[in-house]
Chain A
Amino acid sequence: GQQVMQIPQYQHVQEGEDFTTYCNSSTTLSNIQWYKQRPGGHPVFLIQLVKSGEVKKQKRLTFQFGEAKKNSSLHITATQTTDVGTYFCAGPTGGSTLGRLYFGRGTQLTVWP
């Protein structure tokens, strides 16, 4: 079955500190996607990584896809209170032909002002 592991489950930081969440898969992924869910909201797509070793940046957010395409990370530099929410990685498992996307358990980020 699907195996997309994500750590840590919770992270509390003071505003201005950095934050990183990690995602690992037991199988090689064709791609990995990252979503953000604000409290009380629904998941919103942030980015997709496809290539081995790929690094993408969105302002203070840096996304990385591992060389073996089995792990990924999201790093936020100098967190702000607007970064509060749960960050999910998601990926299709190897061999899936129906395009199903499986989500990690998420990392809930709290930012103290």
Chain B
Amino acid sequence: SAVISQKPSRDICQRGTSLTIQCQVDSQVTMMFWYRQQPGQSLTLIATANQGSEATYESGFVIDKFPISRPNLTFSTLTVSNMSPEDSSIYLCSAGDSPGQSPLHFGNGTRLTVT
């Protein structure tokens, strides 16, 4: 199964700043996704990171707020822009070959606190 490295593992940021989270997979994967998880809550899909093209965002999430890059099949970044305290959450990178049809593997997550 794929091993996913995500960094930073945690950060405390000031309101109005931006943070970029990096996700590295140890093997080529077809699909990569970004989820958000509030403490004690479920996982909410933010977007699908598409290799070589613009990400596909879920309802309620927009590119200006959460720009995503995926320059190749093993790497993706998520930026949380112009942060507010409401953005405080755990952000999880995930990857799989055919998610929805095959298992998803997750990174350890980035715990973001916005003050």
Contacts and interface: CB of A to CB of B under 8 A. Distances in A.
Interface in A83-107: 88, 90-92, 96, 98-106
A110 interface: no
B104 interface: yes
A43 interface: yes
A69 to B, nearest CB: 14
Contacts of B104: 33, 35, 43, 45, 90, 101
B106 interface: yes
A104 B42 contact: yes
Interface in B3-59: 31, 33, 35, 40-43, 45, 48, 56, 58-59
A88 B35 CA distance: 14
Given A1-B59, A31-B101, A45-B104, A100 B43 contact: no
Interface residues of A, number: 26
B57 to A, nearest CB: 11
Contacts of B35: 103
Interface in A37-93: 41-45, 48, 88, 90-92
Given A42-B92, A105-B41, A106-B42, A99 B98 contact: yes
A42 B109 contact: yes
Nearest to B92: A42
A30 B98 CA distance: 13
B40 A101 contact: no
Interface of B: 1, 31, 33, 35, 40-43, 45, 48, 56, 58-59, 92, 96, 98-109
Interface of A: 1, 30-31, 33, 35, 41-45, 48, 88, 90-92, 96, 98-106, 108
Given A43-B106, A44-B106, A99-B98, 11 more contacts: A43-B43, A48-B102, A88-B43, A91-B100, A92-B100, A96-B100, A99-B96, A100-B33, A100-B100, A103-B35, A105-B41
18 contacts: A42-B106, A43-B43, A43-B92, A43-B106, A45-B104, A48-B102, A88-B43, A90-B104, A92-B100, A99-B31, A99-B96, A99-B100, A100-B48, A101-B45, A101-B100, A103-B35, A104-B42, A106-B42
